[in-house]
Amino acid sequence: MRLFTGCLHPASGEEQGNMTPQWLCSIGPGQGYIRTFRFPEDLEDDSTTFNPEYSHQVFGDDEVAFGYKGLKILLYYNAGNLSTLFRIEYTSKVNENFDCVEADDVESKIRKIIPPGFCTSTDDFVSLLEKEVNFKPFGTLLHTYSVHNEEAGEDITYQIYQADMTCPGFREYHERLQTFLMWFIETASFIDVDDERWNYFLVFEKYNKDGATLFATVGYMTVYNYYVYPDKTRPRVSQMLILPPFQGEGHGAQLFETVHRYYMSSPTVLDITAEDPSENYVKLRDFVLVKLCQDLPCFSSEKLMQGFSQEMVTEAQQKLKINKQHTRRVYEILRLRATDMGDPEQSRGYRLDIKKRLIGPYKRVQALIKKGQGCHNQVPAYGVCASPAIGTSPLGTDPCHQYLRRNNKKQRELAKMRRCLRPEELTNQLNQIDLNMQHEQLEESFQQLVSDYRRVLERLAQA
């Protein structure tokens, strides 16, 4: 696997103020410098290179390095145990007489996130590649599946394992594995591996070379087991990453479903959640949970058309460890499948059912304002305040929050009103704009949801 490689392009002088453009190198997205390798001959194959999506956590918000020409970062990984090669190369570097400004210490910045023990010599790295045949996955095998590879014209086998820090060598392997987070998750951070409440789930490709069986790292997930009084736990997904060469092949869904089934079998698990899920994660969760729920009796077409029920909540929680909020979203997706949107009556019933749920944040905001909580300059804007009374919709579709997030002008106007108006004046102003804003944003949110739900159903039909 190759993370960084190749020369980094000079950054724009206009964007960097007075810094001399010729000494600035962009290290942001689009600059390929990560590679993974299976065999020594892969060193000549640039197709193994993939680009980081983020580098600001290493190089700052500007994502540039100052003081070099022809800067090249080499960050190479063995495909299996992720043994690492790291070094930087450049054609020239500013000296100490350059306006008393020193070059950025690129090497030390990257050293902060990769564990010690990496090699800097290509020959040493090749010798490690030759030992890949000895690498075996850590932990307990949970699931084996295959994916057809059109290019190779054959099915490729993948396996998912559950591991912990008691597995020999896993701690060191995880230290290398987690470095990928910094390049592919925007707000990534390393976890406390000494906390025994962490579980680790790993995906590997199983392949053969010269009669030997080898394994390549595909991705992983970390889950933290929270205590729930009096005798339950609530597993919360913290990190999930499928490496770029394997994305778009269904490995995320396989990993998610395998982990979910792993916890479903435990009588002490209450339900399964996720920490600050991304939009892509929510879409993945939708697909897997709908797949699991669609055959439950409570989600029959007849019962779906009767509306969301406590029976659905209870059955999904008891049989599949799905919480109420996620069950509601599953219901909305399955009801869309059961609804004839060409039938005016069925279409109207579905629309009203969804909008009734979407309008909740508006009502909470208005209720909070009418109660006059806090001084007038602290009245929360729609869904933006971190107050638990408002927050963001648990389904990620808070119409007020989305509206303001997409409309900076409205945010500034409402912020100004909160500063300048007394509570009763603010209430009057908000009442005047509220209806128009509700109708506009509710319809926009509804159409976006239907579009997202249809994509889930299309993928489900192809599964």
Contacts of 396 (CB under 8 A, 6+ apart): 277, 279, 282
Task: Read off the tokens for 247.
Answer: 């994305």
| Same domain, yes or no: 74 and 48 | yes
Q: Got the DSSP string for 381-416?
A: PTTTS--TTT---TTS--HHHHHHHH-HHHHHHHHH
- Residue 207 forms part of a structural domain: yes
- The three-class DSSP label of residue 10 is strand
Q: d(Cα 297, Cα 337) in Å, to the nearest integer?
A: 16
Where is 199: in which H helix or E strand? strand 198-209
What is the pLDDT tens value at each position of the chain, 463 positions in all?
Answer: 544 444 444 444 444 444 567 788 887 665 657 899 999 988 888 777 888 889 888 988 888 888 888 888 899 999 999 999 999 998 888 875 566 678 899 999 999 999 999 999 999 999 999 999 999 999 999 999 999 988 888 999 999 999 999 999 999 999 999 999 999 998 899 999 999 999 999 999 999 998 999 999 999 999 999 999 999 999 999 999 999 999 999 999 999 999 999 999 999 999 999 998 999 999 999 999 999 999 999 999 999 999 999 999 999 999 999 999 999 999 999 999 999 999 999 999 999 999 999 887 766 666 665 565 443 343 333 222 222 222 233 344 444 444 444 445 555 666 666 777 677 776 676 666 556 666 788 899 999 999 999 999 999 999 8
Closest CA to 334 of 359, 306, 357, 360: 306
Q: d(Cα 441, Cα 399) in Å, to the nearest integer?
A: 6
Q: d(Cα 399, Cα 394) in Å, to the nearest integer?
A: 12
Q: d(Cα 389, Cα 371) in Å, to the nearest integer?
A: 12
Last residue of a domain, one of 318, 338, 358: 338
pTM of structure: 0.82
Given a contact cutoff of 8 angstroms between Cβ atoms, the answer to whether 383 and 398 are in contact is yes
- Residue 410 forms part of a structural domain: no
| Same domain, yes or no: 172 and 102 | no
Last residue of a domain, one of 338, 357, 387: 338
Task: Read off the tokens for 395.
Answer: 């389904």
Q: d(Cα 358, Cα 166) in Å, to the nearest integer?
A: 46
Q: d(Cα 432, Cα 142) in Å, to the nearest integer?
A: 57
Q: Which domain holds residue 80?
A: 21-131
The CB density around residue 359, as the number of other CB atoms within 10 Å, is 16
- Check which CATH number belongs to the domain holding 319 and give it: 3.40.630.30
Whether omega for the bond prior to residue 277 falls within 30 degrees of 0, making it cis, is no
Task: Name the catalytic one among 102, 275, 424, 440.
Answer: 275
Q: d(Cα 313, Cα 327) in Å, to the nearest integer?
A: 6
Q: How many domains does the chain have?
A: 2
| Same domain, yes or no: 139 and 27 | no
Q: d(Cα 276, Cα 239) in Å, to the nearest integer?
A: 10
Q: What is the largest CA-CA distance in the chain?
A: 79
| 196 catalytic residue (yes or no) | no
Q: d(Cα 321, Cα 272) in Å, to the nearest integer?
A: 6
Q: d(Cα 345, Cα 224) in Å, to the nearest integer?
A: 45
Q: d(Cα 429, Cα 264) in Å, to the nearest integer?
A: 49
Q: Got the DSSP string for 1-20?
A: -EEE-SBPPBPPTTTTTTS-
Where is 213: in which H helix or E strand? strand 212-228
- Residue 318 forms part of a structural domain: yes
